[in-house]
Amino acid sequence: MDEQQSRPTSPAHCQPPICPHNGWMQPGPADYDDLSLIGVWRALVRRWKVILSAAILAVIAAAGYLLVATPQFEAEVVVLPPEAHHVEALNVPDIHEATAEDVYTIFARNLRSNTLRRQFFDENGLASVLGGGESGTDESVFRRRFSDRLKVRSGARDEKDLVFVTLQGEHPEHIVTWVNDFVRFAASRTIDDIVDGIHTRVANQREGLREQIDIARQWAKQRREDRLTLLEERLATLRDGRRREDRIVVLDEQIAIARELNIMDRDDARPLVVKEQSVGLSVNTAPEPLYLRGVNELTAEREALEKREDDDPFLPGLREIIAEMEVLRTRTNNDPFIPGLRDKEEQLAQLEAGLARLQGAASSIRPARIDRPATLPEAPASPKRNRILPLSLVGGMLLGVFAAFQLNALEQSRT
């Protein structure tokens, strides 16, 4: 009996609940190192309080954030390119040709202009509204509270012609008014910039044409005066009297020759001419010598020349010169005689007409069309309650699962 009591207990006689080698033993801490789905599930079930606590804490933290966070509202304006007739008045011949696409591109660029945003910010006094009355923070308020929150983006694919302008802020009424006003402000500045550029180019070209016309008129007057001077010199040359004196000298010589040949009249020269022709046939194209006219005729011409008081009727081309001089002196307008002057005046008239048409139609010019103006938002854009609470619940549960595995691993390392 004593031997039996002192004999070690055989494994075969061990109780099943405490036998380490029995497959149907009760689960212990060492069983949670199993990597099977069942082992994972058992670990999660065992730590369900940790997981639930993490999820509750995450939801409470998200709810606290939603309570303290300032709601941010968003207003959006959608614009379209203008029609062709909206920019037709911007076309000035030889100065500026505008297409709807070009004007729309300039407008979209102005929407993104920091300078234009600053002008709108200052002109509308947004620093006092957004800055809460703080001094010395205009630049930071402009950058953080307005410029950084004003977004401009172009549409994609089927909406590539659209431009979306959005503004976020705490006060929905303010942001709706501001974003609508800013789009109109950018449109007005776009038209002003284009029209000012056209005015500058028109003014420059108009001034250039006027200078060319003035110079042409000045040179036309100078040319007229030069022509008068030339005609006066020619007239003086014709009237110098030497032609008559030279003629008298020639006649004196021819009279002497005629007396030597005893040619008193034209009839006296015929026998001499016949005698010369009988010598031989000759062709002479030279003018007939004056002495053949005879002494009497030549003497009569000489006496007439000496008695002449005015040579004007006998000067070739004199009357034409005098008439031209009279016309030049009485001319009061040189424009019809200036080459190319009418073309320049026509260009100047076209510029004036284009500028007048531009000024008259300035109110009808549109750099863009408002497809959808901004309206009061129905709900804040951020924070999004319907997203934050579910995400916080999921995140808390994941954090709890992670904590459960960490606690399980720590417990296994101790056993």
What confidence tens digit (pLDDT) does each residue in 355-412 have?
A: 888 777 777 889 999 999 999 887 776 666 677 778 888 888 888 888 878 887 787 7
Bridge partners (DSSP) of residue 99 are none
Mean pLDDT, the chain, rounded, equals 80
- Span 70-213+348-372: which CATH code? 3.30.1890.10
| Low-confidence winner among 130-144, 165-179, 295-309 (lowest mean pLDDT) | 130-144
pLDDT tens-place string over residues 313-365: 777 888 898 888 898 888 888 888 888 989 988 888 888 887 888 777 777 88
Stated pTM of the model: 0.59
Token reading at 334: 């040189």
Kindly tell me the burial class for residue 143, based on how many C-beta atoms sit within 10 Å of its own C-beta (0-12, 13-18, 19 or more).
Answer: middle
Bridge partners (DSSP) of residue 75 are 167
Average pLDDT over residues 56-79: 80
Hunting for tokens 């003629």 — which residue is that? Answer: 247
Kindly provide the b/e burial profile for residues 109-131, where b requires at least 16 CB atoms within 10 angstroms of the residue's own CB.
Answer: ebbeeeebbbebbeebebbebbb
| Low-confidence winner among 29-43, 250-264, 369-383 (lowest mean pLDDT) | 29-43
Residue 23 has pLDDT above 70, yes or no: no
Peptide bond into 390 cis (omega under 30): no
Sorted by where each begins, the domain ranges of the chain are: 70-213+348-372, 218-347
Residue 164 has pLDDT above 90, yes or no: yes
Name the CA radius of gyration of the chain, rounded. 58
